[in-house]
Chains A and B, each alone.
Chain A
Amino acid sequence: MVTPIPLGWRIESAPDVLSTGAADCPRGRITEIIGARSSGRTSFLHSILAASTKLGEHAVLVDTNDTFDPSTAAAAGADLGKMIWIRCAGNVEHAMRAADLVIQSGGFGVVALDLAEAAEAGLNRIPATTWFRWRRSVETTPTVLVVVASRALTKSCSALLVEMKRKRAIFTGNLLRGAEYEIAPRKPIGSEGGALHCVAV
């Protein structure tokens, strides 16, 4: 029997995911991580980089404000040898162009754009069409496009939006041992109640 498909609609199967332990990031989609400083955004980003490079994939980090710490990323399990680190010295426009070139190049497991410390003026100048274009560019690829920011930027273009919240710092005596975070999914709709508590030590 032939089932007619209505014009203008596409049938999409559930996307493949990159499992990080804390959350599953859909491949071929935009994952956005938002939160305040010390809320665990970077710890979550490192866990995504670690999960991807452990699978033998290559990852790119577009580091807008040159904040990346290879030491803690390696400790989280990221294979630095499979990563490319692009530093943009605070220039949001350069970061967006570099990310665009990497996305168009293809072949990466994760493309991460870190805008967490970017200047507000630079963020406001990002055209909204960029996110739509990137969503279209990655949707037929196995790439997880991760955007880290202090507030939501990608709007309707992200498939997964996670808000990170700081819970408490863990001290052992006089020593800072780690921190406890809450991972609160805001998207997809219906996942809002599934907040997770995780600890980075």
Chain B
Amino acid sequence: MYACIYAPGAGALAQGFSPHIEMVDAQTAVFSITARQVAGLQEISRAAVAETAEAAILAARHLPGLTFIQPGEETSILGGLSIDCLPPDPEIFQTLDLWGIHSLAELARLPEDGLAERLGARGLWMQKLARGALDRPLRPVAIETKYEESIELDYSIKLIEPLLFLIGRFLHDLCARLDSQSLAAGAVEITLNRTDRMLRLPFPTRDVKFLLKLIQHDLEAHKPGEPIEKLRLRILPADPRRVQHGLFIPAAPEPEKLELTLGKIRALVGAKNVKTPELRNTYRPGWAIGDSRLAFRYFRPPMAARVEVEGGRPKHLSTRVCRGKIARVSGPWRTSGDWWREDAWNRDEWDLALADGSLFRAYRDGGGWFVDGSYD
């Protein structure tokens, strides 16, 4: 059963009945309705309820008050309307005028075969419309919902805990709104006074506790630094996460738990120090994709070294962690790259085996000798 409201601000009125509304034009809104909701339409000046959406639209637009069309009564109620109530088609209207057809009832009574022969599919479509029998699915428009809450306080908040209390209240409301639209939060934007901070979530969620914890970690890691008088919380919606579990899939950390753990670790060691290692398509030392399985340990930053050279080959290495005679040398291997950047590199590398068996990679550039790390 469909209802149609024909009035200024029809969309807003219709939202009181259903979130799925088709806006036919600025004043005409159609939506699906239940028998229990029909009584609510009585307060609206122009509305209609019918078995099909098109019958409801015709009745609401052209009949005064609330019109309730029972199934099978479409022709009798809509029959009195003029043929001009149908969507304009000058050619068909001219033919119907020649035939002396002026009302919907007269059009509805015409034999279908003859009408199809003379007016084609368009004529049959108009007859179905006149009978109120044209059934079609609703084409609801997505009405943009704002997931935003804000408050201007009469007092200032200096501590994180009372601030979280307010944020928690906002999150409850916003997540309930997301839930009603089958959406989840993809990111959270918080404005404290005039400072914006964006919290990008690793996966969409509408778990209030989890979101609140994440915000707490973020606030603790990056303290506002001033008393808060104005708070705004905006959620950027996203499609909810869908996970398919399997009996034979190896156990993995729970995403919510993992994100909270990583949030705590980021607050401890810094966000840039918690990541997934990656290789880059470059020859830059430390980033290059190699094929040696001989593990390497970097000294970050490279360790300054003193190297004694005889005949162009290193003979003795001395750094703050190691010292010794060099037993065997591999190199020099000249590498350079990224000459167009400020951090270009250009150096001669050596693999050094000390007499005690330890293996190092050292290099010499314009600034002297450095040990890059050790083979291990």
* B249→A107 contact, CB < 8 A: no
Complex-state Cα separation, A201 to B262, whole angstroms: 35
* A38→B376 contact, CB < 8 A: yes
Return A194 CB to nearest CB of chain B, in Å.
22
A38-B357, A88-B273 known; A68-B298 Cβ under 8 A: yes
Chain A interface secondary structure, helix, strand, loop or mixed? mixed
B268 within 8 A of A: yes
> Which residues of A from 102 to 116 have beta carbons under 8 Å from B?
102, 104-109, 116
A39-B376, A83-B276 known; A117-B297 Cβ under 8 A: yes
B166 within 8 A of A: no
A residues less than 8 Å from B277 (CB atoms)? 68, 70, 73, 80, 83, 85
B62 within 8 A of A: no
A71-B288, A83-B276 known; A116-B358 Cβ under 8 A: no
A86-B265, A169-B357, A171-B328 known; A107-B251 Cβ under 8 A: yes
B374 within 8 A of A: yes
B310 within 8 A of A: no
A residues less than 8 Å from B141 (CB atoms)? none
Nearest neighbor of B277 in chain A, beta-carbon distance? A70
* A67→B300 contact, CB < 8 A: yes
Return A16 CB to nearest CB of chain B, in Å.
12
B367 within 8 A of A: no
Closest 3 interchain pairs by CB? A107-B253, A42-B295, A42-B376
Number of interface residues of B (CB under 8 A): 49
> Which residues of A from 68 to 101 have beta carbons under 8 Å from B?
68-76, 80-81, 83-89, 91, 94, 97-98, 101
Question: Can you list 29 A-B contacts with CB-CB less than 8 angstroms, sorted by A residue number?
Answer: A38-B376, A39-B376, A40-B295, A40-B376, A41-B376, A42-B296, A43-B376, A45-B295, A57-B251, A69-B295, A69-B373, A70-B277, A70-B278, A80-B276, A84-B262, A87-B269, A88-B269, A98-B265, A101-B265, A105-B253, A105-B258, A168-B357, A169-B357, A171-B330, A175-B330, A176-B294, A176-B359, A176-B375, A201-B294
Report which residue of A84, A101, A106, A176 has the largest number of chain B beta carbons within 10 angstroms of its beta carbon: A176
Return B295 CB to nearest CB of chain A, in Å.
4
A40-B376, A176-B353 known; A56-B294 Cβ under 8 A: no
A179 within 8 A of B: yes
Complex-state Cα separation, A69 to B297, whole angstroms: 6
A14 within 8 A of B: no
Return A120 CB to nearest CB of chain B, in Å.
12
Return A44 CB to nearest CB of chain B, in Å.
8
> Which residues of A from 31 to 80 have beta carbons under 8 Å from B?
36-43, 45-46, 55-58, 65-76, 80
A174-B330, A176-B353, A200-B295 known; A74-B373 Cβ under 8 A: no
A37-B358, A71-B296 known; A98-B268 Cβ under 8 A: yes
Complex-state Cα separation, A170 to B294, whole angstroms: 11
Nearest neighbor of A93 in chain B, beta-carbon distance? B268
> Which residues of B from 320 to 344 have beta carbons under 8 Å from A?
322, 328, 330-331
* B261→A105 contact, CB < 8 A: yes
A26 within 8 A of B: no
B264 within 8 A of A: yes
A185 within 8 A of B: no
Q: 5 additional contacts, CB 8 Å, given A105-B257, A166-B357, A169-B375?
A: A68-B277, A75-B291, A101-B265, A107-B253, A178-B294
Residue of B252, B273, B376 near A89 (CB, 8 A) is B273
B residues less than 8 Å from A168 (CB atoms)? 357
Residue of A43, A65, A86 near B293 (CB, 8 A) is A43
A28 within 8 A of B: no
Residue of B265, B274, B292, B374 near A37 (CB, 8 A) is B374
B275 within 8 A of A: yes
Residue of A55, A72, A88, A117 near B294 (CB, 8 A) is A72
